Amino acid sequence: MHQGRYTLGQEIVFGCWTHDANGTPTLPTLPPVLEIWNSAGTKVQTKSMPIMDRYQNTGWFQLPVKLNTDFATGLYRAVMIYVVGSYYGLDEDTFEVIAGGDTDGAALAMAWYKRPHAAYVVQQMDSGKLNFGRNPYL
Domain identity same for 70 and 125: no
CATH code of 60's domain: 2.60.40.1930
Per-residue pLDDT at 74: 94
Domain identity same for 32 and 96: yes
Per-residue pLDDT at 138: 59
Range of the domain at 39: 2-101
Taking only the tens of pLDDT, the chain with its 138 residues reads 788 999 988 999 999 999 999 999 999 989 999 999 999 999 999 999 999 988 888 999 999 999 988 999 999 999 999 999 899 999 999 999 998 888 788 888 999 988 898 999 999 988 888 988 888 775
The DSSP result for the chain, as a single string, is: -EEEEEEET-EEEEEEE-B-TTS-B---SS--EEEEEETTS-EEEEEEPPBS-TTTSTTEEEEEEE--TT--SEEEEEEEEEEETTEEEEEEEEEEEEEEE-TT--EEEEEEEE-SS-EEEEEEETTS-EEEEES---
Domain identity same for 47 and 22: yes
Per-residue pLDDT at 135: 84
pLDDT (tens digit, 9 = 90+) per residue, 48-70?
999 998 888 899 999 999 998 89
Total count of domains within the chain: 2
Per-residue pLDDT at 1: 79
Domain identity same for 23 and 82: yes
The whole-model pTM stands at 0.79
